[in-house]
Structure 1
Amino acid sequence: MTRHRLIVCELCCKAGLVWQGLTHDLSKYSPTEFATGMRYFQGTFSPNAAQRDAEGYSTAWLHHKGRNRHHFEYWTDIVKGSDGSLVGVPMPTRYVIEMFCDRIAASKVYEKEAYTDASSLIYFSRELGLPRIPMHPDTAAFLYVLLDMLAERGEEATFAYIRENIVAPRYVYTPKGRF
């Protein structure tokens, strides 16, 4: 858990989002999330997934996703006038970049020596194939572009691009103009 946070912090700093790196996933130290992490830790995949397998749901994940804006699940709402279906809303750019860093860190922690710059893209591509993933298409496209750039150009070039072309000029990709 702490190793993951440190990697995200380092990556967010490389992206130019220092405060987000420092405050990333602090809710993991809350009793709800920490207890699950201790009980279900195995080192190869998320303790939240293990709790979900054992209990049918994850209290830690429900707590976590509602407090951490870098998870696309935070950015869901019920479609107005629908059957109650969830739909993704566009994520502000800064949180997409933090999600990008989070996914790289998770891949590095879980895959260890097997990690490559394509690892997070491969995982995300599988995730996109799942039915009913409630991520806004613009958010998914933006994340995919960053992950593809990482796989093709490497970490150094991708983070230089993010710093210089997205964070420094405060590039905004959402129609609402949120950074």
Structure 2
Amino acid sequence: MKWLEHLKTITAHKIMVMRHCFAVGLYKQGLLHDLSKYSWTEFSMGAKYYQGNRSPNDAEREDKGYTSSWLHHKGRNKHHLEYWVDYNVDRSDTKHLLVGCKMPKEYVIEMFCDRVAACKIYNKENYYEKQPLDYYMNGRSRRLLHPDSAKLLEKYLNMLARKGEAYTFRYIHNYEVIPLRRKKLAKYLPFLKYLFPYGEDY
């Protein structure tokens, strides 16, 4: 049954992303990740176009010319770069009507976790740690990423490819997520910024 296989796939993916998010310290985002996939709009199309080795969004897009599931999904999940696409405020730039806005760092990190998990789920035993980087470099969506967000994501993907998952997750936790927490706490407890410097935004 395709609906059951789809349910297994999205649940396995969600659990894996949750583990990755927990490893880097993004607990709330790990728990809330991709919950919209269980809505009828997304789940029904995912089950209908279930492939097993790639996203059903691709199959729906090829069949209909668009994907209703993805249009629903991208507007509800901030870890997708497409969520941050908006009209260009630079009216003199007539070539780029729509542009990618700079993503908050925590969502770039969640996007990284999502991409790693997706490669693991779809490639299973054929997964290797450079694969998320290869997939990203061969994809079209990176053209829409804000340059700063792209640079940060590529930093994580290259680190994963060169130094492995354990090192990369530990780095993100210690040098990205913990400073983010301190920065947020400093809004309510200003003295913290003098005790625990949290660095600059990317």
Matched, 1:92 2:104: yes
Secondary structure of residue in 2 paired with 1:133: helix
Higher relative contact order (CA 8 A, sep 6+): 1
Q: In the TM superposition, what is the alpha-carbon distance from 1:135 to its structure 2 partner? A: 0.8
Once residues 38 and 16 of structure 1 are traced to their aligned partners in structure 2, the CA distance between those partners, rounded to angstroms, is: 32
Greater helix fraction, Structure 1 or Structure 2: 2
- 1:100 and 1:114 map into 2 onto residues whose CA distance is 19
Aligned counterparts, 1:28-177, within 5 A: 28-80=37-89, 81=91, 83=94, 85-127=97-139, 130=140, 133-170=143-180, 173-174=201-202
2:128 aligned counterpart, secondary structure: coil
Distance 1:132 1:3, change over 3 A: closer
CA distance in 1, matches of 2:66, 2:51: 18
Change (3 A) 1:61 1:172: farther
Counterpart code for 2:156: L
Off by >6 Å, runs of 4+ in structure 1: none
- The letter of the residue matching 1:86 is L
TM-score by length of 2: 0.82
For 1:85 and 1:108, the matched residues in 2 are separated by 35
Question: Partner amino acid for 1:99?
Answer: M
TM-score, scaled to structure 1:
0.92
Larger radius of gyration: 2
Q: Secondary structure at the match of 2:86?
A: strand
Aligned residues: 172
